[in-house]
Amino acid sequence: LILAPFLPVHETPELASFRAHQVTSPTTTMPNAREQLAQVTKIVADTGDLDSIRELKPEDATTNPSLILAAVSNPKFADLVDEAIKSAKGDTLDEKVSDATDRLSVAFGTEITKLVPGYVSTEVDARLSFDVQGTIAKANKILGLYAEKGVPKERILIKIASTWEGIQAAKQLEAEGVKCNMTLLFNFYQAVAAANAKATLISPFVGRILDWYKANEKKEYTHDEDPGVLSVRKIFDYYKKHGHNTIVMGASFRSVGEVLALAGCDRLTISPALLTEMAAMTDEVPLKLDAAAAQKQDIPAVVADENAFRWQMNEDAMATEKLAEGIRKFAADLNKLEGIVKGKMS
């Protein structure tokens, strides 16, 4: 299962629909919604499933412990799991389990690099979210494992939770030439601090922001009122106005409408199900985010030092709760993944 051509393609209803649409759509008709979006935004696949990535042909791909956990549970990836376990190093069982889990994430990431031309994101242990030096050490270990497989560090984005400590780790890593993807980002000041740290990319979680507001405000939102959509638009405009090079990549979408409300964003990471749904749509996709227009706006610069960052997060119940919840969930899924690996080792 090391060489991508030998990976079997298991047809899902979504992939069957996507392929049928590709075959039957007349070339003279209007491009489908996914094709229109791709003209103004780089599309990233939010999945660890190799078959879906091969079928959908995105620019980049993102993974996280939850996606790797789902993939590992599939018997078709047993060879990747077995190889990671066989290669694991450490003096104790726990050390070997941790090493095998890192190798497993890198094994999936390595296969993905064969299927996409751009970046592949690999997540640092969420349990290190408040540990600057621990995050840096883990990032360098991940890149070392990729190097063993012949994957250059320029192809990899190290995903780090957007805590203050995570952003400081990213600042040091970026200064050393390591590209970082700041994930679990819910607040404007997280985005400004990440840009100040010269992070390569941020991943604002659009759908999870919407989830919180729907649950707490007890109301429904149109896509142009969606708090997650508005958050990304605000960050995008600020970055373009003030010349920040950090890439804005919206993530965690709940619907196609939410995705298309951010047409023009630098990148959007989208699930295979939503990518397939867009491939079957012929609606016109208007531009929603425009860098040139943002540069003409009157948007003052803000200070996002540690004091401002911590105070603004304290004042933002949604961001505080969702960041903590996201870290706990990724940590829990990593614990489950390690449990699977430990069970196979024992």
Q: Long-range contacts of range 1-5, CB-CB < 8 Å, 24 or more positions apart?
A: 1/76, 1/77, 1/78, 1/79, 1/80, 1/111, 2/79, 2/80, 2/83, 2/111, 4/50, 4/54, 4/111, 4/114, 4/115
Closest Cα to residue 153, out of 187, 182, 179? 179
What residues form DSSP beta bridges with 157?
121
Query: 188, 168 in Cβ contact below 8 A?
Result: no
Please name the helix (run of DSSP H) or strand (run of DSSP E) that holds residue 161, with its range, or none.
Answer: strand 156-161
- Cβ-count burial of 131 within 10 angstroms (0-12 exposed, 13-18 middle, 19+ buried)? middle
User: What is the spatial distance between Cα 164 and Cα 132, in angstroms, rounded to a whole number?
Assistant: 9
- The Cα–Cα gap between 291 and 266 comes to 9
- At a CB cut-off of 8 Å and minimum separation 6, what does 262 contact? 41, 206, 229, 232, 233, 250, 268, 288, 289
With 0-12 / 13-18 / 19 or more C-beta atoms within 10 angstroms meaning exposed / middle / buried, residue 245 is exposed
Cα separations (Å) of 214 from 206, 250, 317, 326? 13, 19, 14, 18
Assess whether 214 carries a catalytic annotation: no
Task: Report the DSSP beta bridge partners of residue 62.
Answer: 46, 121
Dig out the tokens for 93 from the structure. 């069982």
Active-site hit among 153, 159, 179, 288: 159
Q: Is 36 exposed, middle or buried (0-12, 13-18, 19+ CB in 10 A)?
A: buried
- Count other Cβ atoms within 10 Å, centred on residue 330: 24
List active site positions: 159
